[in-house]
Amino acid sequence: MRKTTLFILAVVLAACSHRQNVIEQDVGQNWTLTGDTLNVNLSVTVPSVVQQNLYDAGLIPHPYLGTVEEELLWISDHPWTYSTRFNVDESLLEKDVVELVFEGIDTYALVTLNGQKLFDANNQFRIWKQDVKPLLKPNDNLLVLDFPRYDSLQTALYEAHQPRLPERYAVSRKAPYQHGWDWAPKYKNVGIWKPVQLQAWSEARLENAYIVTNEASKSQAQLTLHLDVESTQSGELTAELLCQGKLLQSFPFSVVQGNQHKVFNFNINNPELWWPNEMGEQKLYVFEIKLKQHDKLLDSKKITTGIKTVQMVQEPDDKGFSFYFKVNGVPMYAKGANYVPEEMIETWINPDHTYKLLKMAQDAHFNMLRVWGGGIYPSDDFFNICDSLGILVWEDFMYAGTMYPYDEAFMENAKIEALEQVKRLASHPSLGLWCGGNEISEGYYNWGWQQSLGWSEDDDRAIKAGYDRLFETILPMVVDTYDGTRPYWPSSPSKGWGRPESLTQGDVHYWGVWWGEQPYEVYREKVGRFNSEYGYQSYPDYSTLQKIAQGEPLSIDSKVIQAHQKHARGTQLIDDFIHRYFPSEQPKNFEEYVNLSQHSQAYGMEIAIEAHRTAKPYNMGTLYWQLNDAWPVTSWSSIDYYGNPKVFHEKLKTLYAPVLLSLDKRDYQVFVTSDLLRNIDGVLTVSVFDQDDNCLYEQKVKVEMNPNQNRKYHVEGLHEFLWNTDPQSITVRLELTEGETLTAERVLTGGH
């Protein structure tokens, strides 16, 4: 669907969204954005952010092109006001309650309605709402959001915090990546980034309704329906649960005045389960909840969900502890990547692009994505797409790379955020687990903050106690209470990559290659139980560089190329490995050089992925850093900002295929690594060709394997043959056939 069609559809839906007793009115139109600098006075619609509005009005250049970052940084240190005048439909004012609901405000804003303060928003990731019936008039209501200077406010909050925290952004519940990252400029968005609505209702309504799977077998699934019911009075209500249009069960219950969380268990016989990609189908069920008082319908909600269980398995063994996921009781080898926000200007994220990106992931055999904790919680669209494509989501809470404040107000804010996000996402079968955040415990133990920030022992104790309270108590308690079916993992990784335990238990971010400047071959030794980050940079597609350069000449040192490289040593590290691994290549121009950087990245990632997969079941997951980009940039991604696959992404079609064939260069035996949930009964053919395609060697081996098995096969004479042959002059072809069917193939050329 085109963006405009989606938009019109959304407006129409919003305008006539009468859920019987509940009436909604969109408040997204006729807004004004004002700001002193540039005499800004713009007519805008929301959701939107200042950076987007200024660009749309032609007041600033495109934030992703050229070398404009520095010119645009003033925007987040400037006060802005969004205001609107609106009328309220009579039917709303007749209801008992009329709530004004902001699904997302980024970040600090004083919100007033008709001159009365409603609240001070201070968390990008929360819903902000209030009953405004007493303040509303039928006509000409004035709603104003005053956004203070974000940077100055944050600095003041940061400096007031004792002891000193590692990062400034720690004090603000706002997407960390917008403060600058090693792939992101410092575009701190300001605005109303999600829809605004009036929601009017009488008596009672369903604020939230979601369904989770507790247990599931072929014959029966046990599910739980969670309801948040808001009521103006005490009384008796009924929740009717319909499945695929048919009444399944009725749950009578009592309510008191206010909000209440209600939980009901029910069963589905002979369920069709939801499976990750290539493990089975992605069956989705549509449930409907009807909230009734006697026979009067008060509210209803539809829930699309799938029936699936997920467990995180950690069992002791002779090396340490296993770490893997069982989906519907079946061990899953996780193949995927880390996902970062698709845009720097967060309101530019659009579902068509998300679909294309995730479809490219699915086509490359992904079954998992980790939503990295330095970004934003993805939209419902993202999760709907993952539901339909079978991508299991490792969801970080949005905390990354710093210690956080630990006062009561911060903790309460964090708890409400977690509660809302857990409830919003719980029905999605693609949601696999919740993780506390990115590289926080790693940072605490390994990055020397104690010394660099001069913490006393007491400071250190207080900060660590705050960490424990948030990541070991509050967040897991919220997940357990309001979901109860998803595993919780406090920090990714669990141990820093310099520690031996990082390879024997938990998940590991192996950054010895790249950050530690080790060669790609080291990936072969650094195989953890679950490699949840590793990667190497390459330039994006040459056409992407041409777009950002806008006609300027391109070279390694051109300003625009440097402005789109955010890692201090990035240019050098890419160059080092091009020379190391492609010494005989002489790129004739920058375009060839760019291309070579992609071949280098692909070569390194091939070594890593092969090492991980062939170590199954010791290793049970490989998620490289990173799937995508938030703007056109040189980075670790396999797909660039404009959706161009890099050489590495194309290679994933073989590297992540359900059956991977690999040659173990230590003993020249062949690994057959199968993620198939069926037996294999086939023949492995190994053949070697010279540069003129003459077959120099061929051998066949019978292959019989169980589901989900990884086995090594000895191939008669192969070792001796290869030992005596120059790898640069041959091509090795591996093929697994079952009858007439080609189950897997791999072509290994010229040492690369």
Query: Which residues sit at the interface with ligand BMA, rule CB under 6 A?
Result: 181-183, 374, 401, 438-439, 509, 533, 625
Q: What 3-state DSSP class applies to 419?
A: helix
Cis peptide before 583 (omega within 30 of 0): no
CB of 374 to ligand BMA, least distance (A): 6
Nearer to ligand BMA, 166 or 276 (CB): 166
| Contact call for residues 669 and 715 (beta carbons, < 8 A) | yes
- Residue 65 CB-half CA count within 13 A: 14
Nearer to ligand BMA, 512 or 587 (CB): 512
Instruction: Output 291-294 pairs: Cβ under 8 A, ≥24 positions apart.
Output: 291/204, 291/205, 291/206, 291/227, 291/229, 291/237, 291/238, 291/239, 292/237, 292/238, 292/239, 292/240, 293/203, 293/204, 293/235, 293/236, 293/237, 293/238
CA distance linking residue 320 with residue 197, whole number of Å: 52
Bridge partners, 19 (sequence order): 22
CA distance linking residue 41 with residue 633, whole number of Å: 32
Nearer to ligand BMA, 346 or 629 (CB): 629
- Residue 314 CB-half CA count within 13 A: 12
Element (H, E) at 579: helix 570-581
Nearer to ligand BMA, 182 or 552 (CB): 182
CB of 442 to ligand BMA, least distance (A): 8
Nearer to ligand BMA, 489 or 625 (CB): 625
Nearer to ligand BMA, 348 or 636 (CB): 636
CB of 372 to ligand BMA, least distance (A): 6
Return the residue matching tokens 């999760």.
Answer: 383
The residue type found at 117 is K
CB of 400 to ligand BMA, least distance (A): 6
In this structure, the dihedral spanned by the alpha carbons of residues 583, 585, 587 and 593, taken in order and rounded to 10 degrees, is -60
CA distances from 638 to 337, 360, 541, 626 (A): 9, 10, 10, 7
Nearer to ligand BMA, 172 or 438 (CB): 438
Nearer to ligand BMA, 447 or 713 (CB): 447
CB of 259 to ligand BMA, least distance (A): 36
CB of 635 to ligand BMA, least distance (A): 8
| Contact call for residues 163 and 455 (beta carbons, < 8 A) | yes
| Contact call for residues 93 and 199 (beta carbons, < 8 A) | no
Nearer to ligand BMA, 201 or 372 (CB): 372
Q: Quick one: how far is CA 89 from the chain centroid? A: 39
CB of 576 to ligand BMA, least distance (A): 16
CB of 558 to ligand BMA, least distance (A): 23
CB of 121 to ligand BMA, least distance (A): 27
